[in-house]
Structures are given as C-alpha cells and as structure tokens.
Amino acid sequence: QCGATGQAIDRARARARERERERQREEMVGQREADNRSITKKIPHVLLLPVPLQGPISCFLKLAELLSLSSSSHAGKPTSTTTAAATSIHVTFINALFAHRRLSHLTSGGFRRNPNFQFSAVSDGIAGDEPRPPSKFASMVATVEDEVIRLLPEFAVKSPPVTCLIADGIFMAAGEEAMKLGIPVLYLSTLSPCCIWVNSSLVPTLVDNGDVPFKQGIIGSLIFEFE
C-alpha cells in the first residue's frame, strides 16, 4: 500500500512538473510574440509618393536610395537582432504603373538588393501605353491620389505598418487621409528654385510689362538680336 501511494505521489509530481514546463513554454511563446509585435511597431516604414512625372520620380528615387543606404548601414553594424530590426528602414515607393514599367532596371537589381525596399504600382487612369498629354495631367494625379487613399488603410496595418508618408505637395488629400490614420506626413517639393522663380516672379512681370504673350514679329527680332 505504501508503494502504491508513493507511485501515485511520483506521478502527481511528474504531472505537476509537466504542467509547469508547459506554463513556462506558453509564457516564453507569449513573450516572444509580444516582443515581435513591439519590434514591428518600432520599425520605421516610409511611404514615398511622387507625382507621376520623370523629374519628381527621379528626385524621390534619390531619396529612396538614401533611405535604403541608411537602412543598409544600420544593418551592417554589429548589433543585436532586436536592435537591427528596430533600426532597419523599410521603404515603399508608390508609382504609376505606366512609369513603373519603365523602371524595370531598378526592380531587377539596385534597390532589389535591399530586402526592405519595394515598389507599389497604381493606376493613373489611362490604359496601357496610350499617350499622357499635359491635358490629362490633372486627371492622372487625381486617379493616383484616389488609389493611394484607397490603399492607405492597408498600409497602416500591414507588417510593418507605415510610420511616415513623404509625398509631393500636390497630394494634399492623401496627406490629410494619412494623418487621419495617425501616419505623420512630410511634403517634399521637387520643383527647382529656377522653376519657382520663373513661375512666381518672372512670368507675372513679363505679363505686367506686356512682353507676354509675344506680339507678332517679336520672336524674329529677338532671334536677330541674339545673332
């Protein structure tokens, strides 16, 4: 009888130890998941939104390259896995599909060497390779902005969630929508100082002086003077 009692006690102790080990495993898994969620929240994820024109796209690509280089430099430092994950910068470059297809040399290499960089293509409202004349520019921008506004809630909850939107100043509505979702917004003007000066100062002066629009025959006289 004493032997049976001892065996029962041993079995009870073994079950208790097994329950304790299971509890510890669950705690470790829960802590690991909590740490992963905390790290994910700390990962900077920048969303870049340029105007679908060559000049602005080029400027934003330079910015994307700088952010990617910053991410690579952090990743190359001898830090812990947690610290490296928290400091690595994720970059998503939103582009019109028409322009995106012309960046194939970047999608196959270059930026693709950085696993934290990705392109996201949206429609500009014009099918295929149809011409994009200046008269359709406003509708193209509006379509791109509508697409981005539609996608912003997804970017806000994806892993890692977007922590900052850097957009061309023309995308005010998208910026306002991002701020409603708690995403900080920075506006980047890609216009050169010369362009701003010409449009804000020189052209109005020429109009006020009657030099613009050009009068008949003035072009010929100007050419003659330069010759």
Together in a domain, 147 and 63: yes
Claim to verify: residue 52 and residue 161 sit in the same structural domain:
yes
Q: What domain count does the chain have?
A: 3
Q: Where are the alpha helices (DSSP H) in the chain?
A: 2-42, 54-75, 81-87, 97-100, 104-107, 137-157, 172-180, 193-197, 203-208, 218-226
What is the four-CA torsion angle of 21, 83, 85, 185, rounded to 10 degrees?
130
Same-domain pairing of 64 and 143: yes
Indicate if 74 and 176 belong to the same structural domain: yes
> How are beta strands 117-122 and 45-49 bridged, if at all?
unpaired
Residues 181 and 126 in one domain: yes
Show the domain range for 36. 1-42
Are residues 149 and 211 both part of a single domain?
no
Q: Both 34 and 48 in a single domain?
A: no
32 and 48 co-located in one domain: no
pLDDT tens for the 227 residues of the chain, in order:
555 676 777 778 888 888 887 887 777 666 655 555 554 557 899 999 999 888 888 889 889 888 877 655 554 554 444 444 445 789 999 988 888 887 765 554 556 667 788 889 999 888 877 877 778 888 989 999 999 999 999 998 887 899 999 999 899 999 999 999 999 999 998 877 777 776 667 777 777 777 766 666 555 444 444 33
| Confidence at residue 85, expressed as pLDDT on a 0 to 100 scale | 44
Which two three-digit tokens encode residue 92?
Answer: 């998503």
Asked whether residue 54 falls in the same domain as residue 26, the answer is no
Q: What are phi and psi of 91, to 5 degrees?
A: -130, 130
Is residue 38 domain-shared with residue 66, that is, in the same domain?
no
Domain check: are 63 and 170 in the same one? Answer: yes
- The pLDDT value recorded for residue 177 is 93
Same domain, 177 and 81: yes
